[in-house]
């Protein structure tokens, strides 16, 4: 009887400690998700963050790694400074690349946007202050980033970008989601 009672107490103690450890992990995960939401909101709110810029981020134990490509140094510096101010962020590693100024790339950007705006259905992803689709042009190579509603829209965007004169290649990183996209 004494052995069974001791075994039960030990089992309850072990279960209690393992439960508290799981709760701590969930809290940490919730905190990370909260930081990620705040980072996304702050980056989307940058004043010069437009359709030709793309910034992504990862959060690991309070360290935020920023990456992507932007057209100007203002966006790179602004992204780092707004992320540093978020509670729970201890360090920011800024790996955002500034695209070199290029008249050739500017012509491709204009032609690509014009092509997308003329095609029914695709133009909606470029509307508003925070478009869901991003067009990155680097030395004649286009990368499509962001979200579209259907896989068909992703394919159409890829075909249209490939048809723009002067484009060497197109990388399609668009994610198709059935959920409502905030424009």
Q: How many residues does the chain have?
A: 183
- Pull the structure tokens for residue 75: 């966006």
What pLDDT is stored for residue 4 in this prediction? 52
Residue, of 13 and 168, whose pLDDT is higher = 168
User: In the chain, at which residue ranges do the beta strands (DSSP E only) sit?
Assistant: 54-60, 63-70, 91-98, 133-138, 141-148, 169-176
Count CB atoms within 10 A of the CB of residue 39. 22
Q: What domains are there in the chain, each with its CATH number?
A: 2-98 (3.30.1340.30), 103-176 (3.30.1340)
Q: In the prediction, which pLDDT does 54 show? A: 96
Structure confidence by residue, pLDDT tens digits, 77-132: 999 999 999 998 999 999 999 999 999 999 999 999 999 999 878 999 998 888 99
Its pTM surpasses 0.85:
no
């Amino acid at each position: 009887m004494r052995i069974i009672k001791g075994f039960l107490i030990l089992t309850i103690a072990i279960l209690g400690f393992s439960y508290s450890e799981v709760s701590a992990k969930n809290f940490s995960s919730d905190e990370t998700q909260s930081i990620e939401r705040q980072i996304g909101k702050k980056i989307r709110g940058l004043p010069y963050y437009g359709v030709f810029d793309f910034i992504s981020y990862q959060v690991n134990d309070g360290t935020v790694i920023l990456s992507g490509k932007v057209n100007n140094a203002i966006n790179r510096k602004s992204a780092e400074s707004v992320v540093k101010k978020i509670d729970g962020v201890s360090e920011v590693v800024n790996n955002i690349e500034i695209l070199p100024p290029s008249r050739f790339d500017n012509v491709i950007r204009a032609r690509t946007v014009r092509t997308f705006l003329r095609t029914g259905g695709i133009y909606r992803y470029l509307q508003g202050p925070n478009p869901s689709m991003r067009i990155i042009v680097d030395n004649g190579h286009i990368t499509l980033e962001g979200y579209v509603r259907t896989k068909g829209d992703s394919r159409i965007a890829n075909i249209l970008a490939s048809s723009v004169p002067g484009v060497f290649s197109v990388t399609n990183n668009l994610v198709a989601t059935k959920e409502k996209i905030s424009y």
